[in-house]
A and B are shown apart, each in its own frame.
Chain A
């Protein structure tokens, strides 16, 4: 059940980067006046020679990172997801992905982390945009342990990647980081036969909590954590969907073009599967904190349970009402 973890994923990133960059002088972190919001002050103090500040210039952070990568550095460009995935998307496409430069683009305070700061600061289109770019991985850790595991892999990988992190601490989904994380390999968090819940990032915890509630109602839910939206573990999605026939995706992203879309594309040829996409609607959001927005738009366990019961009722023909 949900615990009271107080360590945000960005903090876990910072700790992992300090740990690895201390041993590898080619690791360089770039920030765009964002070291505070990225929780990277400790890194900057520990490894000032491996830190590059570019000021408030998101196009520049990506271009400079690409140039550093070109000359053998392993740059992590860390900037708010809303800007990194929009303002600098052309540099991401051309300088990083197309030119095949080993840059890790870390979008911090992703999704609706910034809450009441409004649409300019929300990144609810980043999965859609980044996953349409060839040669760019799209990764989203569920909790602090997965963040650690992911960044340990990222410092070893030579592939361009976009990683989205949230701002606030999320309740743990794992008990430790050594569970065999692999880029491109989904994690089956719970086994179930009745319904498949597919989630990414902060919504993995939501799906796990919903699965627990469903279990109390004798509905067995399989929760799949897609930490790699690209490359996507299509086998894991298809095999679970074939087993349950009923799929709900839930993501902190627009309902267009994100995890749900990726899952539906994967399941398009499956005759006997129904899928429902839960995410943020294609409209300006109401004002609120991140938890308020999750609740308002139904990215929460009770809504998932309700939708699951509705879908199961329809597909089994025994709707309660």
Chain B
């Protein structure tokens, strides 16, 4: 299972690089850091059906860090929510694959892009499930830089207040944002303590390790508590030039860099190619 997921994440990273290189736009570093999280969610955790994307019983995923849209598009296409060829239209004139999630596209629940919105919206979804006594679960992914938005903490308070143990949030803790180190831009540590003090159950994992992610998602929610998974990741993961460099947050590689990036990804897991 985990071997398959790792290969899948590698393939998604290649799709991301191709989309960004072709469109000459995209949040490269942000996509690469959370690719393993999305792959674990979409290929292991979420109860969703690409043939029935509006199933009222489905699990919901809200990507609060909307700028990492390329990874979401790549995953949704690979899952069959739309044709993979459409990825070639990313950011092109009149494409519905915008640089942020767009819920006109099957599989996208909410439009995001302005940071600090996803947790409140997910709280509303989880609250609706409780009101209707439905078993579906709600997941939302935030960036660590995003946590400077005050609205995140309004959502955090409400989710705990309403005891939403059907809600799981994940923080892509890559430690970098566009200006530099997140702790330098606006310090957020001790991060786990903050969420615990807000009434959340908190787990910390290596967010680029699918085994650890699987365990964290599978770990039962404490009754009456929303769950936070702090996923420690490497920004730009998988592309050596991009790793841990804030400049790659919103960066389009040159031809040379693009070739090097694909080369890195091709050499992943001993150079086996597992592209579809």
Are A64 and B131 CB-contacts (below 8 A) given A55-B157, A94-B113, A94-B114?
no
Q: How far is the CA of A260 from the CA of B122 in the complex (A)?
A: 39
> From residue A136, how far is it (CB to closest CB) to chain B in Å?
14
| A235 CB-CB contact with B under 8 Å | no
Nearest residue (CB) in A for B103 is A99
- Asked if B111 is an interface residue, CB under 8 A from chain A, the answer is yes
Nearest Cβ on chain A to B55's Cβ, whole angstroms: 12
Of chain A, the residue at the smallest CB distance from B100 is A94
Query: How many A-B contacts at CB < 8 Å in the complex?
Result: 99
0/1 string, B140-151, CB within 8 A of A gives 1: 000000000011
Residue B109 is within 8 A (CB to CB) of chain A in the complex: yes
Which of B111, B120, B132 meets A64, CB within 8 Å?
B120
Q: Tell me the bound Cα distance from A62 to B121 in angstroms.
A: 8
With a cutoff of 8 Å between Cβ atoms, the chain A residues found around residue B103 in the complex are 99-100
Task: Kindly identify, within residues 160 to 195 of chain B, every residue whose CB is under 8 Å from any CB belonging to chain A.
Answer: 161
A63 close to chain B: CB less than 8 A: yes
Q: Quick check: is B155 within 8 A (CB to CB) of the other chain?
A: yes
Complex alpha-carbon distance, A75 and B122, angstroms: 15
Contact A57–B154 (Cβ < 8 Å): yes
Q: Select from chain B the residue with minimum beta-carbon distance to A70.
A: B125
Q: B193 → chain A, closest Cβ, in Å?
A: 22
Across the interface, B123 reaches (CB within 8 A) one of A49, A64, A69, A94, namely A64
| Contact status B125-A63, CB under 8 Å | no
CB distance from A245 to the nearest CB of B (A): 44
Q: Which of B116, B128, B132 contacts A67 (CB 8 A)?
A: B128
12 further contact pairs, Cβ within 8 A, besides A91-B151, A95-B110:
A52-B127, A57-B157, A59-B116, A60-B151, A60-B155, A63-B124, A68-B124, A70-B125, A71-B124, A72-B56, A90-B117, A94-B114
A residues contacting B by CB (< 8 A) are: 28, 49, 52, 54-55, 57, 59-60, 62-73, 75, 90-91, 94-95, 98-100
Identify 29 residue pairs between A and B in the complex whose beta-carbon atoms are under 8 Å apart, listed by A's number: A28-B131, A54-B154, A55-B158, A57-B154, A57-B158, A59-B116, A59-B151, A60-B123, A60-B151, A63-B117, A63-B120, A63-B123, A63-B154, A66-B121, A67-B124, A67-B126, A67-B127, A67-B128, A68-B125, A68-B127, A71-B56, A71-B132, A72-B56, A72-B128, A73-B128, A75-B124, A91-B120, A91-B151, A99-B110
Chain B residues packing against A (C-beta within 8 Å)? 56, 60, 103, 109-114, 116-117, 119-129, 131-132, 150-151, 154-155, 157-158, 161
